[in-house]
Amino acid sequence: MNKITYITYQVFPNEKANTIQTMRMLQSMNMFIKDTKLIFPDRGKFNKKIDDIKKFYEIEENFDIEKFPHRLPFNRINMKRFEKYNFIISSFVWSFKTIKKYSKSISNQEIIMTRTHWVLYFASSNKNKVIYECHKFSKVDNLVFKKLAKISYAEAEETALAFHPGKVVSSEREISFEGDATYEFDIQSIHGYEVKVDVNAATGEIEEANIELYEIGVEKEN
C-alpha cells in the first residue's frame, strides 16, 4: 500500500467530533504513507479555502486536500421534514460522481478509505480496495455485503458447523481490503473451547479456523 485516498461526504471545517477525528487520523497516516489525500464535497460558499481548513485544524503535514464539485440544490431546502431525504439523495449522487471520476485512475496499490456509506457501495462495485470506517451499521452496508456474497448466511453456517461441529455463539460479516466478503462464526465446541471459522461468502470455502483462547488473549491457528 503506497497511497490512501480518503473520500468522504463530511463538511470541513467544523467543530464536530467526526471531522476532527478524520483530520487527526489523516495526520497520523501521513507519517507513514506520504501519498495521502482527502476528497470531500465543494459546497461553494459553505466552504473555506484549503489553507484556512488546514489552519482551522492546525495541520502542518503536507497531505493533499481536494474539494470535488457538489452543485446540488438540496442544501438550500430548509424544510425540516425533508432534511433526511435531501441528505441521502445528495450523498448518493455526489458519491456516484466522485467514484466514477477517481476509481479508474486508482492503482492496485492504492486504498480508498471512507466513512460514507455510498462511497463504500460504489467503490466496492468498481472492485476498488476499500477500508470502511463504520461507526453505525446501515442498510447500505448490508446491501454492499449482499452484492458481494454468493451464498446465504444459513449456507455459510452449515459449512462452518460441518467443518467444526458445535453451537454458533456469535457471528459477524466482514469485507476485506481486497473486496472479499466473509462470514465469521464463533463456534462453541462440545469440548468447551471456542473456534472462529471464516467462510468465504462468494465461494463457500473455509478461509481459516482459529482456536480462541480468551483467558490469555491469543489465538492459536489450526
CB-based contacts of 37, cutoff 8 Å, min separation 6: 3, 4, 5, 6, 63, 64, 65, 66
What is the pLDDT at residue 199? 94
Strand partners of residue 113: 6, 131
Looking at residue 17, its amino acid is A
Query: Could you list the mean pLDDT of each consecutive 10-residue stretch along the chain, which spans 222 residues?
Result: 86 88 89 88 71 86 84 56 73 91 77 88 82 72 77 94 92 75 89 89 90 51 48
List the grid coordinates of 18. Answer: 467526526
pLDDT tens, residue by residue, 28-73: 888 888 788 999 998 765 556 788 888 888 887 778 888 888 866 5
Neighbours of 79 (CB within 10 A): 7
What are the residue ranges spanned by the domains of the chain? 3-147, 153-221
Class of domain 3-147: alpha beta
Residues 47 and 70 sit within 8 Å (Cβ to Cβ)? no
d(CA 5, CA 105): 12
Q: Residue 161's pLDDT is what?
A: 94
C-alpha cell recorded at residue 188: 462453541
Among 3.40.50.150, 1.10.472.10, 3.10.450.40, 1.10.3210.10, name the CATH number for the domain at 153-221. 3.10.450.40
Q: What is the model's pLDDT at position 110?
A: 82
Distance CA 204, CA 197 (A): 12
Share of the chain above pLDDT 70, in %: 81
pLDDT of residue 220: 46
Detail the DSSP E strand segments found in 1-146.
3-7, 36-42, 64-69, 110-114, 130-132
Q: What is the pLDDT of residue 30?
A: 85
Q: Are strands 181-188 and 194-200 parallel, antiparallel or unpaired?
A: antiparallel
pLDDT of amino acid 38: 92
Residue type, 174: E
Sheet holding 36-42, edge to edge: 64-69, 36-42, 3-7, 110-114, 130-132
pLDDT on residue 215: 44
* Type of residue numbered 109: Q
Report residue 45 as a C-alpha cell: 460558499
